[in-house]
Amino acid sequence: MRQNQIWDTEAARSYDTPGTGMFAPETLDPVLDRLAELADGGRVLEFAIGTGRVAVPLVRRGVPVTGIELSQPMIDRLRTKADATTIPVVVGDMATTRAPGTFQLVCLVYNTISNLLTQAEQVACFRNAARHLAPGGRFVIELWVPELRKLPPGQQAVVWQSETGYIGLDTYDVLRQRVVSHHFRFDGDGTSQVFRSPHRYIWPAELDLMAELAGFELESRHADWRGGGFTADSRSHVSVYRLPHG
């Protein structure tokens, strides 16, 4: 299934959880603080802007944001929160689509670079970010660390979250560096729903090489948006890449 078919109207609707989950202030505020700091008064381009989880509150802080988004239903939901003058969005994929103007920061949050399913597309995404940036501009990526250490021999699936009404598990194809995320939700009346999305996982070292191919240098890597230290046990990272000043 293609990405623009996965992120349909129902996915866009269920993605928004105001005040909870990814939208909870304790989760979102550190993201906004760090992005505003990295933008340093300049314009921001968000790849895969989605429904505006990050962009809408960032604009409210006075940071100008433009987006690129493949899913029209996601854009339609964003438009219920901000018009095209407030947050311009170009329809297209983050590996090749060009937005007008030059930016100080390009951001790609919440594991979304893994939606590109080949290494070539992921490298192209870095090069696309570089094309949009002014000299000295930054590209920040939030990405999970593949949890292959949890896979015993012969096992292909890892349960990464289990709580009342929800189970999340990933199935791995280690030969192709692919993973499918499965989200199972159970209602009190006995009904259930499942949402699946395919990804290509990337090790931090491989991500750094992609950045180098596009002309970036690694500026910093932390375990979270608050600046926690990145270690061998970190489950995710926030990596900031920077172009030379010219």
Confidence at residue 232, expressed as pLDDT on a 0 to 100 scale: 94
Strand partners, 133: 103
- What's 19's DSSP letter? T
Domain boundaries, the chain: 3-146+203-242, 148-197
Q: Which of 245, 170, 243, 237 is nearest to 207 (CA)?
A: 237
Confidence at residue 2, expressed as pLDDT on a 0 to 100 scale: 57
pTM higher than 0.85? yes
Confidence at residue 5, expressed as pLDDT on a 0 to 100 scale: 61
Q: What is the rounded CA–CA span in Å between residue 165 and residue 184?
A: 8
Where helices occur in 133-226 by DSSP H, the ranges are 204-213
Residue ranges for the chain with pLDDT beneath 50: 1
pLDDT digits (tens, 9 = 90+) for 191-219: 888 888 899 999 999 999 999 999 999 99
Confidence at residue 6, expressed as pLDDT on a 0 to 100 scale: 66
3-146+203-242: CATH number: 3.40.50.150
Confidence at residue 26, expressed as pLDDT on a 0 to 100 scale: 92
